[in-house]
Amino acid sequence: MIATGKHLPRRLFLRGLGAAIALPYLDAMTPAFAAGRPAVAPRTRLIFTYVPNGVTMEDWTPATVGRAFELTRILKPMAPFRDRMLVLSGLAHKNAYALGDGPGDHARAAACYLTGVHPKKTAGADIHNGVSVDQIAAKVIGADTRYPSLELGCDDSRTVGNCDSGYSCAYTNSLSWRSETTPNPPETNPRLVFERLFGAFSDAGLSPEARARRQDYRRSVLDHTIERAKALLGVLGPSDRRKMDEYFTAIREVERRIQMAEQDRTGLPDDIEMPTGIPVTYDEYAKLMFEMQRLAMQADLTRVITMMMGREGSMRTYPEIGVPDPHHPLTHHRNTPEWIEKVTQVNEFHMRLFADFLASLQATPDGDGTLFDHSLIVYGSGIADGDRHSHTDLPVIVTGGAGRFRMGQHIRYPEDTPMTNLYLTLLDRVGVQAESIGDSTGRVEHLTDVGTV
């Protein structure tokens, strides 16, 4: 599935050095510089992966804190990254609680997750929330890429109507908020994500030879068309000529787009399969959406990504792992052991898919390291216990190499430490200055220190 970047042999590179100096920075050549300093500063990515409806906390939270913690049942799939991740306990989103607004914890959990703000209860157009941390980051670290940020989801993403007890669907479906009133609705169709990233002429999935040939033909066909349009311009009347002019201009623009596509696809592996739509099974779907993230970062089209593996309150059924029941009712298990077991299976499934994603980032060269090395990734949920809708002691994992944190720890923060304090700390690490986010009261500690509370 992962295309391994083919490094140019050093000798070959040196032979061609004279010509290569003028070339732009090429990933494929980086190892040649690896001994010295990197050619450019590594790009830093910030990624948020969200799981809905909480997790079974008894099977999530490690029994002990510190470096010697043991991976719990749900965290097991993360074994390959045990020493490159932090499990953080005690963080909370107090603003996701009702605070007098009555039911609607799922909507509040998602809306508050990256903003730390108590969203206004409404199912109408007067939605109001805060600016989310990914958008604060995108203003700075997303400024140099074609897309400042990318928002993805694995459930249908309506943004109007009532999705939870009088809360707009914009709240349950969108983690990312560009402004207090503008959510960034996630794109859920991998085909559209791909087309947005790489345009309509990327010719993904073809061998370099087949691709080159297809591009040749496309150019020849357009040349033929342009010649024909020119000839017609000579014989048509004035109003007809206007239509032909329109055609002519459009063809020229398409020519330009085709050229652009050839540049944009630099770094796109040859064996990538072009998504044709939403895969039928969830595991294929989630894998493909993760793959879109990897491709977007590899081509450096964006550096800030949020993805909801399911929207808050998701009713998805998981027949492929033997859970035919809808997810959300399962989490209201009323302590029925069989239901709790099924919730835990769904949690493990999500974790496995996320761990696969991390592995793919780890296998993707990027500058002097890998995509994993240059990313800061947060995995978690705005609900801890789905049965009781609690928003304290949330399940949170921080991983990736970009934070240069002291990894491989389980840290427990004092009860009700704002989740947003973690975000401020992360922003510091990716070089983004922010005074506060939502209900933040400061930074979190212990991420770089030796030892824990």
Partner 1 sequence: MHRFVVGLPLVGLLVLSAAPRVGESAADEAEVARFEETVQPFIEKTCLPCHNDRRKRGGLSMVSLQAFDSVARDPNTWEKMLGKMRTGEMPPAEDPRPHPETLAKVTAWIDHELERVDRLAPPEPGRLTIRRLNRTEYNNTVRDLLGVDVRPADDFPQDDAGYGFDNIADVLSISPVLMERYVIAAERVARLAVFGPEPTKPTLVRKNSGPRKVVEITTVPDEYDETGLTLPNAAHTMHRFPVDGDYIIRVHAGGIRPAGSEPVTFTLWIDGREVASQTLDAAAQASFSADEQELFGKTLDFRTRVTAGEHWVAVAIPRLFEGLPPSYGGPNPSTRPAPPPREFTPPRRNLPPERIAEIRKRFEEEQRRVRPSNSARVGHLEIGGPYDQATGPLPGTRERIFICGHPAGSHVQGCARRIITNLARRAYRRPVADVDVEPLLELFQQARRAGDSFDQGIAVALQAILVSPDFLFRMELDRAPGGGVAPLSPHELATRLSYFLWASMPDDELMAKADAGTLGDPAVLEAEVRRMLRDERAMSLVREFGGQWLQIRALENINPDVEKYPDFDPYLRMSMREETERFFARIMREDRSILEFLDARYSYVNERLARHYGIPGVRGPEFQLVRLTDPNRGGIVTHASVLTVSSYSTRTSPVLRGRWVLDNLLDAPPPAPPPDTPPIDETGANASMSMRQQLEAHRKNPICAACHVRMDPLGFGLENFDPIGRWRERDGEFPIDATGNLPDGRTFQGPAGLREILSTEEEAFAKALTSKLLTYALGRGLEPYDRRTVRMIARRLPHHEYRFSGLVLEIVNSVPFRMRRGVTTP
Q: Which residues contact partner 1 by CB under 8 A? A: 156, 191, 200-201, 213-214, 216-218, 220-222, 224-225, 227-229, 232, 235-240, 242-244, 246-247, 249-251, 253-254, 257, 273, 275-280, 285, 315, 317, 319, 324-326, 328-330, 332-334, 339, 342
Cβ closest to partner 1, residue 228 vs residue 404: 228
Measured CA to CA, the distance from residue 397 to residue 313 in angstroms comes to 21
Measured CA to CA, the distance from residue 380 to residue 188 in angstroms comes to 19
Cβ closest to partner 1, residue 73 vs residue 158: 158
Cβ closest to partner 1, residue 77 vs residue 310: 310
Burial readout 71-106 (b: 16 or more C-beta within 10 A, e: otherwise): ebebbebbeebbebbbbbbbbbbbbbbeeebeebbb
Which one-letter DSSP state was computed for residue 100?
Answer: T
CB of 244 to partner 1, least distance (A): 7
How many residues appear in the chain? 453
Residue 54 CB contacts under 8 Å (≥ 6 apart), including other chains: 331, 381, 383, 384, 385, 386, 389, 390, 395
Cβ closest to partner 1, residue 253 vs residue 271: 253
Cβ closest to partner 1, residue 26 vs residue 222: 222
Q: Is 278 in contact with 188 (CB distance < 8 Å)?
A: yes
CB of 232 to partner 1, least distance (A): 6
Kind of pairing, strands 162-164 and 167-168? antiparallel
Which one-letter DSSP state was computed for residue 307?
Answer: E
Cβ closest to partner 1, residue 303 vs residue 333: 333
Q: CA 64, 67, 69, 75 torsion: positive or negative?
A: positive
CB of 440 to partner 1, least distance (A): 32
Measured CA to CA, the distance from residue 22 to residue 242 in angstroms comes to 44
CA 311 to chain centre: 14
CB of 174 to partner 1, least distance (A): 18
Cβ closest to partner 1, residue 45 vs residue 106: 106
Whose CA is closest to 385, among 15, 54, 12, 108?
54
Whose CA is closest to 206, among 164, 265, 255?
265
Q: Is 84 helix (H, G, I), strand (E, B) or coil?
A: helix
Whose CA is closest to 31, among 4, 8, 2, 3?
8
Cβ closest to partner 1, residue 273 vs residue 428: 273
Q: Is 30 in contact with 361 (CB distance < 8 Å)?
A: no
CB of 366 to partner 1, least distance (A): 28
CB of 167 to partner 1, least distance (A): 17
CB of 257 to partner 1, least distance (A): 6
Cβ closest to partner 1, residue 67 vs residue 257: 257
205 beta partners: none
Q: Is 83 in contact with 407 (CB distance < 8 Å)?
A: yes
CB of 324 to partner 1, least distance (A): 6
Measured CA to CA, the distance from residue 155 to residue 123 in angstroms comes to 19
CB of 387 to partner 1, least distance (A): 11
Cβ closest to partner 1, residue 12 vs residue 210: 210
CB of 287 to partner 1, least distance (A): 12
CB of 363 to partner 1, least distance (A): 23
Cβ closest to partner 1, residue 353 vs residue 447: 353
